[in-house]
Each structure stands twice: as C-alpha cells, then as structure tokens.
Amino acid sequence: MPELPEVETTVKGLKTILSQKIFNVKIHTTKLRFKIPSNIKKTCHDAKISNIRRIAKYIIIDLDKGYSIIIHLGMSGRLKTAYSKYIRNKHDHFIINFHNGNILIYNDQRKFGFIDLVKTEDLLKHKYIINLGIDALSPELNANLVYEKISKSEVPIKQILLNQKLIAGIGNIYASEILFDAKISPLILGKDLQFSLILKLIKSTRKILKKAIRFGGSSIRNYRSTDGTLGNFQTNFKVYNKEGKIIRGDKVKKIVQYGRSTFYCSKLQNNK
C-alpha cells in the first residue's frame, strides 16, 4: 500500500496539471472500494485545478469551483499522467482530460482505492479526514504530544505508529525502518517508552520519511510515480523484508504483530 512518501511523490508529480482546466471526466468503473460520486463529471467540467496537496495518505485535488477530489490509492492504485495520444489500460478506471491535452489516469488493478468529491470548505470535517492524527512530517509533531497520547497505552509501539488516528501517514514498511533507525524494539509498549526514546522516534520518523521522498518512495509491488518511474528507497531498506540479514552481529528477525509483518534486530533494538 502506498504510504506517505509514495503519496507525497505522487503529489509532486501532479504539478504538471496545476492551473489546468478540465475538459471532461470519463469513468470506466463506477465502483472502486466505494462508488464514485455521480455528480463528479458535472462538477469537474471546465473547473480549474487550483491546488494539489497531501493529507496523510490522501491526495487532495482542489478545484476553483469550491470542490475537492479526494483520492486514496488503496493497495495497488496509482495516478498516471499522459499527453494527447493515450491508449487505455484495462485497469484505468477514472480519466480526466484537460483542455491543453494533458490526461490524468487513475489505475488500480485490485480496486481497493477510491475517489470522492466534497466541498473544499467541508474537507477537514469529512469522514476520511476528521479523525486523522497529526501528520508524521508536521513540525507540530513533538515529544510532549506523543508522550501525552501513548503514556498509558498497552499497545506495542509498532502498532501505535500504524494508528492513523494518532500519527497519520506511516505504514507498515516505514514503521519497521523508523524503529530500527531509532533503535527501539517494536515490542515495547507505549506506556514503557521513555521520553528520551520518544525524541529519538520523532527524529528517526522525519529522517526516514524525508529520505524516502528524496528517493521517490518504495516500489515493492505496484507503485510507480506519475511518469511511470519506479521508487528507489527499497534499495535503502535496512530491515524491512531482510529476514536473516546480519547487521553488526545481529540477525534481522521477522515476526507478526496484529497480522502485519515486522522486521527488527532483537539485540540492537533491545529496550522492551
């Protein structure tokens, strides 16, 4: 599933359609994870793209008509850009054509993503957005805030990082990498995480996510940027998918927590 770095990379790649006027919208699959709103064609017609941004793992495309398109890439979704001549792939479900010949395509083989349309003024109150925690790259994310949220938690820190209602944007891949960088065991409970370790956790969160963005995200299965480029951060993984690798005399282990794979070094991350 595309996480914060992949979504941020996608948003940057969409700058080519900024300020462009929409000619029409074509819908080849009316239902992805949820049904695509029936009024999206009419609302988008002749609307101009006024802004493109990210909220957690959601792509937000603001229109000058006071509406915003919300896109979640799900497990295998991606946005592609093309110009003029375009041959549709069978997994291209939603297509926006612009007056200048640019084309934006939503492709999703497994159809777990979704597209929604809301009034921009109501965006932060929308059901997908309203309960999100603070963004993982927000400058407002600090140790005091995290301590307040987790100091009584009986949940392991790895699962806390995946809780979008606490910290938004981190997924399974980057949680393992962040915890390894911070030398924190994925098994330690939130209530047992010392303040000094929370400081390290926040520092590592910013370090890993920003580095992943610089490398264009991680391409493990389906993810590609808008121009088809593969992400390259997977070449920088230290522990994720590295079971058995020896790091400074310690072996990378794989365990399952809450149904998700966790990779870590039990000696190097020994503070549980």
Active site residues: 2-3, 57, 260
**Dihedral class, residue 263 (left if φ above 0, else alpha if ψ from -120 to 50, else beta):** beta
**Helices (H), ranges, the chain:** 4-13, 40-44, 143-150, 157-162, 172-182, 195-214
**Nearest one of 80, 70, 57 to 3, comparing CA atoms:** 57
**Burial (CB count within 10 angstroms: exposed 0-12, middle 13-18, buried 19+), residue 140:** exposed
- Taking the C-alpha atoms of residue 123 and residue 70, their distance in angstroms, rounded to an integer, is 9
Reading the block at residue 202, the tokens are: 């926040």
**Nearest one of 178, 190, 158 to 256, comparing CA atoms:** 158
The DSSP code sequence of 38-65 is TTHHHHHTT-BEEEEEEETTEEEEEETT
Q: Which amino acid is at 242?
A: K
- Taking the C-alpha atoms of residue 225 and residue 173, their distance in angstroms, rounded to an integer, is 18
Q: Which residues pair with 113 in a beta bridge?
A: none
